[in-house]
Amino acid sequence: MPKRAILLLLALVLPFALAGCECLWAWAELYVNRNVPAAEREFLPAKDIYICPGEAALLRWAVAERLTRARLSPGIGEVPPRGELVVSPAYTTDYTLTAEGEDCRASSTATVHVVEPGETIYLSASEIYDASTGSYYWRVEPDERLFSPNVFVNSLQAERRTDEVGPWTVTKMDPNGLVHEVIVPQDRPASPREPFSILGSWRLFPAKQYQGTATFILRVECRG
């Protein structure tokens, strides 16, 4: 290729390449928590929360300095490059932060789930080794910054795995110390005697030992 043609090609392509490189340094981050008092709960960077109708969420965002214009949608409009806002959507809503500069654009999305009766929530538990018994159990403690205390569990089911582990014994302790126990079969949902709040401490014991993440499918509803 002639030298003149190469120089012309570089002149056409290089500005776009440089703009693309600059955009690598452009960012926008949007996170969401339940609207709990900041003095009581540190803000947890999260992309999804679960609230009940009428409850509120706290959006918090920041964008790169090179991005001088920012908007929140739906229905909010222009916002400063950094800030927070309390929202109370009537239904599940994806909030999107879009930020722009002279040559760059970035966006970020967070979701506020407004729970409806019978909605499904997936709860994943981490394995814990109990040295005193030489066995494993699984534990999860849903964070009240992410789940309303008014979200109640009607039934739960173990997500199927290729290695059958049999029924699970689920022990759930409420924040007030009340304990619930449910035997969850491998192949169908099980219901507690009375629905209980998703918040608290969950301990799950499989009939057969294995290692890995345990995931449970919860059917939930809101109770005041």
Q: What is the 3-state secondary structure (H, E, C) of 100-143?
A: ECCCCEEEEEEEEEECCCCEEEEEEEEEEEECCCCEEEEEECCC
DSSP H/E element including 7 = helix 3-23
Q: What is the pLDDT of residue 25?
A: 77
Give per-residue burial for 25-46: e unless 16+ CB within 10 Å, then b: ebbbbbbbbbbeeeeeeeeeeb
Q: What is the pLDDT of residue 16?
A: 41
Contacts of 32 (CB under 8 A, 6+ apart): 46, 47, 48, 49, 57, 58, 59, 60, 95, 110, 111, 112
Q: What is the pLDDT of residue 69?
A: 94
Contacts of 174 (CB under 8 A, 6+ apart): 180, 196, 197, 199, 200
Whole-prediction pTM? 0.84
Contact 50, 146 (CB under 8 A): yes
Tell me the CATH architecture of domain 119-222: Sandwich (2.60)
Domains 25-114 and 119-222 share a fold: no
Token pair belonging to 99: 């930020």
Report mean pLDDT in 10-residue bins for the chain, 224 residues. 48 42 77 84 93 97 94 96 96 97 93 96 90 87 96 93 78 96 92 96 87 89 92
- pLDDT per position as a tens digit, 122-172: 999 988 888 888 888 899 999 999 999 999 999 999 987 656 678 999 999
Q: What fold does the segment set 25-114 form as a domain?
A: Immunoglobulin-like (2.60.40)
Q: What is the pLDDT of residue 49?
A: 97
The dihedral built from the CA positions of residue 214, 215, 216 and 218, taken in this order, carries a sign that is positive
Q: What is the pLDDT of residue 162?
A: 56
Q: What is the pLDDT of residue 159?
A: 86
Q: What is the pLDDT of residue 6?
A: 44
